[in-house]
Amino acid sequence: MPDRGPLLPIAGHEGHGTDFSDRVLDYGTSPRNYGSLAVPDGYAKYKGPCGDTVEMFLLVADGRITGASFRTDGCTPAMAAASAVTVMVTGKTLWECVRIDQDAVLAHLGGLPDDSRHCALLAVRTLRRALRSFAKTRKPGAQPAPPE
Ligand code: FES
């Protein structure tokens, strides 16, 4: 998937521009941590029911996320949500990351319209798969295994 860089508002959600928080517009048009990592410790690519895909790359050291990045072919809310997830996980322990859910991402973003809330879930599900991919490389029981 080629890097797309920032999107202009609001791909896939035309007509809802005024419904987005300042942070969604900020992260959605100037995403933090957009791109890939060459040798991630955790990685996942997940396609949501809407057909959009998020990839997430994690670096882990001493039980903490030391770096995170993402790519997506999804809408601007997906861009904002995945960007938010990478900001939220950086510096956190793996156990803290496991507890990041859709509501936490929505709170970080200042909310999303009802028809865009699933975009935050797509980002969270991708994070959990990336954490799980890291956990599978470790000894059983040594790292958290996020729920499906
Ligand atoms: Fe697919 Fe937003 S519409 S992630």
Look up tokens 């028809």; give the residue. Answer: 115
pLDDT for the residue numbered 7: 44
**Is 14 contained in some domain?**
no
- Say how far apart CA 67 and CA 32 lie, in whole Å: 12
pLDDT for the residue numbered 74: 95
Q: List pLDDT tens digits, range 5-15.
A: 444 444 544 44
Residues with CB under 6 A from ligand 1: 12, 48, 50, 52, 74-75, 77-78, 119, 122
pLDDT for the residue numbered 9: 45
Rounded to the nearest whole angstrom, what is the distance from the C-alpha of residue 126 to the centroid of ligand 1? 13
What mean pLDDT value characterizes the chain?
A: 87
- Indicate whether 129 pLDDT > 60: yes
Domains contained in the chain, number = 1
Q: pLDDT: is 125 or 7 the higher one?
A: 125
Confirm if 56 and 127 have CB atoms less than 8 A apart: yes
Q: pLDDT: is 5 or 139 the higher one?
A: 139
Q: Which domain holds residue 109?
A: 28-135
Residue 4: C-alpha distances to residues 38, 76, 91 (Å): 17, 12, 26
**Is 5 contained in some domain?**
no
**Is 122 contained in some domain?**
yes
**Is 18 contained in some domain?**
no
pLDDT for the residue numbered 139: 52
pLDDT for the residue numbered 78: 97
Q: Within 10 A of 93 (CB to CB), how many other CB atoms are there? A: 15
CATH of the domain at 100: 3.90.1010.10
Strand partners, 46: 54
State the pTM of this model.
Answer: 0.84
Q: Within 10 A of 125 (CB to CB), how many other CB atoms are there? A: 20
